[in-house]
Structure 1
Amino acid sequence: MASTSTVVSAPGKVLLAGGYLVLDPAYSGIVVSTSSRFYTSIQDAGALNPNSIRVRSPQFLQASWTYSVRFVAADGTVMVEQVVLEDSKNKFVHLALQRTLALAIELKGVAEIQNKLAPGLDIAIVGDNDFYSQRAQLAQLGLEPTIDSLSKLTPFGPTGVQLKDVHKTGLGSSAALITSLVTALLIHLDFLPRSAFADESISESRRLAHNVAQYVHCLAQGKVGSGFDVSSAVFGSQKYTRFNPAVLQPLMQDDLVPKLAPILSPSNPAWDYKVEPFQLPPSTRLMLADVDAGSDTPSLVGKVLKWRQAEPVKAAEVWNALDQANMKFAQALRRLSQLHDENPEDYDFVVRFAASLQPVQVRAIFFPMTSCLNTHAAYQEIRTKMREMGNLCGVPIEPPEQTALLDACTSQAGVIAGGVPGAGGYDAVWLLVLEPPQTADQLPFRRIERVWSTWKDLNVSPLSAIESKAKGIHLEDIDQVNGLRQAIHG
């Protein structure tokens, strides 16, 4: 029998390098998974009707959906139908249930899945506060927009709005949600063993969860995207090279899809994505901020791809130069980690010293800080090339307002890189700062907070997320996650 309770989390993401290029399997991106996570809790419902599934999202108004699961004996298919059609609909949740159960039936048989669903399922899904703008909550409490203020908010706090009206912060909420939901279902139905997620190795079970989550996420979005957001939700921070989108094309329709198992199987060689584990160097901190302006990512991507098609020679020149800068940046970060491994004491000394210097000051000092400089220089080159591409195709990848903000931030002591994540636009900024063990008010991240809090041209509000230490999908103990039981069970 299935376990009576299953809780699975999956992290958000920040694409540091590889914006736009990551859509092409010829190039790679550097994506960091965040400490902010989505959590899916599944338990046998008991009081619900058999073969009934209730899904709740307690952070939103009117966010509860009940589905009836009907098995078609003639061909062994499964139908997942919303019970009250007048209620709001959630395409992502509906497709996740429909297609995950269909796959389970293909491989386990109707009788076994019927048995697992007999008590009904009660599913709750919540996301860490960082996935949604907390400006209104901070203002209501009279708190300044700082990282310390964010720590005072109720974990998994109510947004006070319907799901369709929430202001997201660009951390990849839909990918993290789908990954946690799909994996929790596969585990709760005893389709994947819990032991497969006891460590962070790239196991067959983790790869299957990846393939199913990629499929559901692409189907819900109506297109086969690059997949870096789902991949980081499954495997953690990484250098990512996308899969050939042709692998999912046979399944990208609402009805009459072929058998799922042969296509979604980890043994299917058509899943040719590449995942190379990656992590930020020791004594560095990822900082993120929500910029209250917003951009339409699909629109930006569409315009860039249209330009690439119209001017292939120039686009190839720009993309190749960008790729070289991206890889220089990744190599510089890896070199910092290597220096730490070779001599931790010297590394810590350098970090403490460099944290008090601006990049221009570091250049003037003959000291073993070249890797910090290389990191800074490589990302400045990335920013230059991204702005060039934006100008060529008429897209605000790094708008002037963002340029001014980033220039002010990256000139601060202890900042080694910073940019606009992913496709760019007005949504957010990220910074990588040194974080030596010293007095709190001297830490580089405190300097950045002061810049953000006094910035006038854009409304900048920090997020509390840092890089995730748990790599990708994680099985959770509900009582070990602050506020999770209260958020789910009220």
Structure 2
Amino acid sequence: MQTSKKYRHGRVHATAPGKVLLAGGYMVLYPNFKGISLSLSARFHTYLESIKESTDSSKRDSSDNQFRHKMTVYTPQFGDEKIHYEWKVCETLMTIEKKSHPTPGMQHGQQKKTPLIDNTIVAFLMYYFHFSVQNYKKDINFNTSPMAILSNTIGYDGVAITLMGDEQFYNIGATSDQKASSSQKKTGLGSSAALVVSLTLGLSAYHHLPLPRDHLFVLCYLSHSASQGKLGSGFDIATSIYGSILFQQPFGDKKVQTKVQSTLVTLQEVCNWTGSKPVSTWLQTCQSFFDHVTELATLPSLAFDKIERFRFEKVCESNEKVFLLMCDIENISGGSSTPQLVRLVQQWKQKNESQCQEMWSHIQLHINQVVDNDNALIKNHFVNIRMLMKKMGVCANVPVIPHVVDDILTTLEKNNSSVTATGVPGAGGFDAIYVLMRGKSMDAVKTSLHHTFAKYFSHQYRLTILNVNANHGVAICVEEQSPHTSALCKL
């Protein structure tokens, strides 16, 4: 059978945007409430291209009769580190090996922990392996070994993967010449979710896997949750895939949560596998994982395409654009711990359920009005959302919107007519504030806010300015496209 053309891959560039949760902090963890999440111009990039082997003998070791597929991940923003993955499959055994170059401070033989990349690659391999087995058997109408299937669908060439995040994801300012480093504090724009989404989409395009967006969401949600060790809301993953959305937690049903949790455990267990495993075990595990992903992807609550977009044209004149300004405020009080804020608010909610439901219901009404109403009222609704969030923080004795932060936001609104909304992103606290405003250029927007920021930050503030992309989610570019990949570019 002539199969060499099946695994001639073009160079793939996949990107996914960052996010900011304008309204709905804490609420998006629960299925009865919605939040406004914006996709931003800051994007994470994944580049994939083939590593061509020089000779036939180096492609396959005939002595052990193994299929081998190598992935080398480069992270040039963080010291040119390299992580090597090798997927080995023979007639009876399967192995996934990881090797990373040691970095300063690491002991010899110690592997660097990269859970985001590890879980994303393993989740993709499990899904892709079962898909390949099922479809290859259908095509040729007879059973054959997993090793033969993989050699005829993937081929023996390796793949080089380069991961790069736009500098706005890191605490260096939008115009800085600095490079990001692994020790720098991130700006909370969803770089982890964007990495997972861009890497998963890039792998699917590179391997000619048609991956619907709902399947992409479930795969990325599981990979991201496994890396964090908990089930999150998923709004950051959804925003990276679909663009700016009115997000609602899709896995609120208890039976669904149980299935999600069991699938998550399976992924974590496979990531922790050491040594070789029987191919039969690998086949069964991949089938179970694939079936669960497919089942979750068909849930009606996952119909993100039907979620109404936040229409930014309501707040702009014809010659204006919408800009989001993120400003670090941790120098006021040393920053905040988001997990701690969430834990304290959840404790208050458990003891004051009716009071919490009443506040959140009022916030939800204003969120709905932001989406549905005309531009003259949007600013007022954001002010009311902030007042209610501040009240919740006072009741819970949690600094969701501290007084000094509220003063800054009020001053910004009063002194700048082009400001559409202000607030604290996500869980709030002392980490950052956002300003959503309209203007003709980034420079004009920054200049108009300089005096207010300088008053509070003594000229030491760090300001990041981003475009708001209402409908811009994931995107890919495939060079030397084949019929297998052309449809994916429409995602």
What TM bracket, shorter-length normalisation?
0.7 to 0.9
Q: Select the residue among 387, 392, 395 that pairs with 2:395.
A: 392
- 2:482 corresponds in structure 1 to none
- 1:229 corresponds in structure 2 to 236
- 2:487 corresponds in structure 1 to none
- 1:355 corresponds in structure 2 to none
- 1:290 corresponds in structure 2 to 327
SS in structure 2 at match of 1:38: strand
Q: Share of identical aligned residues, percent?
A: 24
- 1:249 corresponds in structure 2 to 261
Q: How far 1:63 moved relative to its partner? A: 2.8
Q: How far 1:80 moved relative to its partner? A: 4.4
Query: Quick check: 1:212–1:264 contact (8 Å CA) kept in 2?
Result: yes
SS in structure 1 at match of 2:404: helix
The separation in 1 between residues aligned to 2:228 and 2:459, in whole angstroms, is 30
The separation in 2 between residues aligned to 1:222 and 1:318, in whole angstroms, is 30
Q: How far 1:452 moved relative to its partner? A: 2.2
SS in structure 2 at match of 1:180: helix
- 1:23 corresponds in structure 2 to 29
Q: CA 1:13–1:206 in 2, change beyond 3 Å: closer, same or farther?
A: same
Structure showing greater Rg: 2
Residue correspondence of structure 1 range 74-473 to structure 2 within 5 A: 74=92, 79-82=96-99, 85-109=109-133, 110=146, 111-115=148-152, 116=154, 118-134=156-172, 150-151=174-175, 153-154=176-177, 158-159=179-180, 161=181, 163=182, 165-192=183-210, 205-244=212-251, 246=257, 247-253=259-265, 254-255=268-269, 259-265=288-294, 268-270=297-299, 272-275=301-304, 276=307, 277-281=309-313, 282=316, 283-293=320-330, 294-332=335-373, 335-336=374-375, 371=376, 374-411=377-414, 412-435=416-439, 443=444, 445-456=446-457, 459-468=460-469, 471-473=472-474
Q: How far 1:117 moved relative to its partner? A: 5.5
The amino acid of 1:20's aligned partner reads Y
Q: CA 1:107–1:446 in 2, change beyond 3 Å: closer, same or farther?
A: same
Number of residues of Structure 1 aligned to a counterpart in Structure 2? 405
Query: Quick check: 1:288–1:428 contact (8 Å CA) kept in 2?
Result: no
The separation in 2 between residues aligned to 1:8 and 1:37, in whole angstroms, is 10
The amino acid of 1:472's aligned partner reads G
Query: Quick check: 1:69–1:81 contact (8 Å CA) kept in 2?
Result: no
The separation in 1 between residues aligned to 2:352 and 2:459, in whole angstroms, is 34
The amino acid of 1:251's aligned partner reads T
Query: Quick check: 1:23–1:242 contact (8 Å CA) kept in 2?
Result: yes
The separation in 1 between residues aligned to 2:208 and 2:478, in whole angstroms, is 18
Q: CA 1:376–1:119 in 2, change beyond 3 Å: closer, same or farther?
A: same
The amino acid of 1:433's aligned partner reads M
Query: Quick check: 1:288–1:430 contact (8 Å CA) kept in 2?
Result: yes
SS in structure 2 at match of 1:177: helix
SS in structure 1 at match of 2:394: helix
The separation in 1 between residues aligned to 2:264 and 2:459, in whole angstroms, is 40
Query: Quick check: 1:262–1:268 contact (8 Å CA) kept in 2?
Result: no
SS in structure 2 at match of 1:464: strand
The separation in 2 between residues aligned to 1:127 and 1:83, in whole angstroms, is 20
Query: Quick check: 2:322–2:438 contact (8 Å CA) kept in 1?
Result: yes
Q: How far 1:328 moved relative to its partner? A: 1.9
Q: How far 1:51 moved relative to its partner? A: 1.9
Q: CA 1:260–1:420 in 2, change beyond 3 Å: closer, same or farther?
A: same
Q: How far 1:46 moved relative to its partner? A: 2.2
Query: Quick check: 2:338–2:427 contact (8 Å CA) kept in 1?
Result: yes
Query: Quick check: 2:169–2:189 contact (8 Å CA) kept in 1?
Result: yes
- 1:348 corresponds in structure 2 to none
The amino acid of 1:435's aligned partner reads G
Q: Which runs of 5+ in 2 are unaligned?
A: 1-6, 60-67, 102-108, 134-145, 271-284, 480-491
The separation in 2 between residues aligned to 1:376 and 1:216, in whole angstroms, is 37
User: In the alignment, does 2:53 pair up with 1:13?
Assistant: no
The separation in 1 between residues aligned to 2:475 and 2:298, in whole angstroms, is 26
Q: Which runs of 5+ in 1 are unaligned?
A: 136-149, 193-203, 337-370, 479-490
Q: CA 1:325–1:168 in 2, change beyond 3 Å: closer, same or farther?
A: same
Q: CA 1:307–1:59 in 2, change beyond 3 Å: closer, same or farther?
A: same
SS in structure 2 at match of 1:406: helix
The separation in 2 between residues aligned to 1:71 and 1:129, in whole angstroms, is 39
Q: CA 1:57–1:385 in 2, change beyond 3 Å: closer, same or farther?
A: same
Q: CA 1:125–1:117 in 2, change beyond 3 Å: closer, same or farther?
A: farther
Farther-moved stretch of structure 1 (40-49 vs 116-125): 40-49
Q: How far 1:27 moved relative to its partner? A: 0.8
The amino acid of 2:229's aligned partner reads G
Give CA-to-partner distance per residue, 1:414-470, whole Å, 9 cap, x none: 212111111111222111223259xx98x5553113322443379432113111266
Farther-moved stretch of structure 1 (24-33 vs 395-404): 395-404
- 1:342 corresponds in structure 2 to none
For normalisation by structure 2, the TM-score amounts to: 0.76
The amino acid of 1:81's aligned partner reads K
- 1:37 corresponds in structure 2 to 43
Q: CA 1:73–1:296 in 2, change beyond 3 Å: closer, same or farther?
A: farther
The amino acid of 1:34's aligned partner reads L
Q: CA 1:172–1:271 in 2, change beyond 3 Å: closer, same or farther?
A: farther
Q: How far 1:324 moved relative to its partner? A: 1.3
SS in structure 1 at match of 2:467: coil
Give CA-to-partner distance per residue, 1:111-133, whole Å, 9 cap, x none: 44445262111100000010001
Query: Quick check: 1:27–1:323 contact (8 Å CA) kept in 2?
Result: yes
